Amino acid sequence: MEKKHIHKDIVIIGAGMAGLTAALYAGRMNLDVLVLENGIIGGQIANAIGIENYPGFAKVSGKELIGTLQQQAESFGAVIDEFDSIVKVSLKENPKLVETEEYIYEADALIITSGMNRRKLPLPEESKYAGKGVHYCELCDGHMYQDKVIAVMGGGNAAVDAANFLSKYAKKLYLIHRSEIRADEVSWKRLQDNPKAEVFLQTEVKSLHGEGRLESIEVLDKAAGETRQLPVDGIFVNIGVVPNTELFAEELPLAPSGRIAAGEDCRTSIPGVFAAGDVREKEIRQLTTAAADGTTAALLAEKYLVKLKEGNVVW
């Protein structure tokens, strides 16, 4: 059956900090806005336990911050659809086409805020234990490990935040990282002060073991040159991210990092297409810069739409 075509002033791909901020601003300008999200609303930041570097909040959870922002965007008319996955995009003509499993959306302007996904554990057994002890989303799957032994792999903010979050379920928690910790001092100290937590630095996960599901991991202490088996019920992997740009690779130039090339004005090489947040190539990636990108993209998209109606687009 032929898919129904639906017109929108702006389609935003991704409902993280940048996408929801863009939706808030676009909605306030009385634009018809649709946000498409095929993962968790809020993206990676939704998992953060205590955010202490966002202006205006002494401390706020990622879930609370994103929930408030979502309510703001929706109060100004933005529609958020998190269940209709995108199949294909066509960006070079007007209007832009975004085809999902159910509809084909025609957008006069498009804002890409698709963010990044966590990098998969690079071991041959990963697929065997995926969902059976190997996980990538502590907010989604952490509750499955009440009173269990949990390992977290990684040394950045995402890993340490995940470990702090999972400690409320775990009877024992290991943080394993191949080099030094890169997380902020506040989160790192919170983990160090947790009596449930044990940290292994300069340590690599070499293999996974278990009958049917994960039961233990083999780790290598690089300094000592020794391996050991750690009995664990689950491991949550936080070893970096991959930009979600696969949909756009054939239509937009990508930086060597895989992110979309766009300037501080968030304009891509295609008129009417903007990139904002972590998916955009830039030096600094923080919550505040994602919100700034979303603001910039929405305000300039509105200006683009005015020029488009006047037939006077300058890009």
* Per-residue pLDDT reduced to its tens digit, 179-238: 999 999 999 999 999 999 999 999 999 999 999 999 999 999 999 999 999 999 999 999
Question: In the CATH scheme, what is the code of domain 120-237?
Answer: 3.50.50.60
Q: For residue 39, is pLDDT > 90?
A: no
Res 55: pLDDT:
94
Res 107: pLDDT:
98
- CATH C-level class of 4-117+241-310: alpha beta
pLDDT tens profile 297-311: 999 999 999 999 998
pLDDT tens profile 244-262: 999 999 999 999 999 999 9
Where does residue 218 rank: exposed (0-12), middle (13-18), buried (19+ CB within 10 A)? middle
Do 88 and 36 touch, CB atoms closer than 8 A?
A: no
Which among 15, 95, 40, 48 has a CA at the least distance from the CA of 294?
15
* Catalytic, out of 81, 84, 141, 184: 141
Sequence ranges of the domains in the chain: 4-117+241-310, 120-237
Residue type, 265: D
* Catalytic, out of 140, 184, 266, 278: 140
For the whole model, what pTM was predicted? 0.77
Query: What is the band of 165 on the pLDDT scale with cuts at 50, 70, 90?
Result: very high
141 included as an active-site residue: yes
Inter-CA distances, 42 with 115, 132, 169, Å: 10, 25, 22
- 4-117+241-310 and 120-237 share one CATH topology? yes
140 included as an active-site residue: yes
266 included as an active-site residue: no
Length of the chain: 315
Which among 75, 50, 78 has a CA at the least distance from the CA of 65?
50
Higher-confidence residue: 53 or 64?
Answer: 64
pLDDT tens profile 114-135: 998 888 999 999 999 998 999 9
Q: Which pairs count as long-range contacts for 183-186, CB under 8 Å and 24+ apart, including other chains? A: 183/155, 183/156, 183/157, 183/159, 184/53, 184/157, 186/50, 186/52
At 220 the three-state DSSP class reads strand
* Catalytic, out of 137, 147, 193, 266: 137
- Distance between CA atoms of residues 105 and 88, nearest Å: 11
Q: For residue 49, is pLDDT > 70?
A: no
- Distance between CA atoms of residues 23 and 113, nearest Å: 11
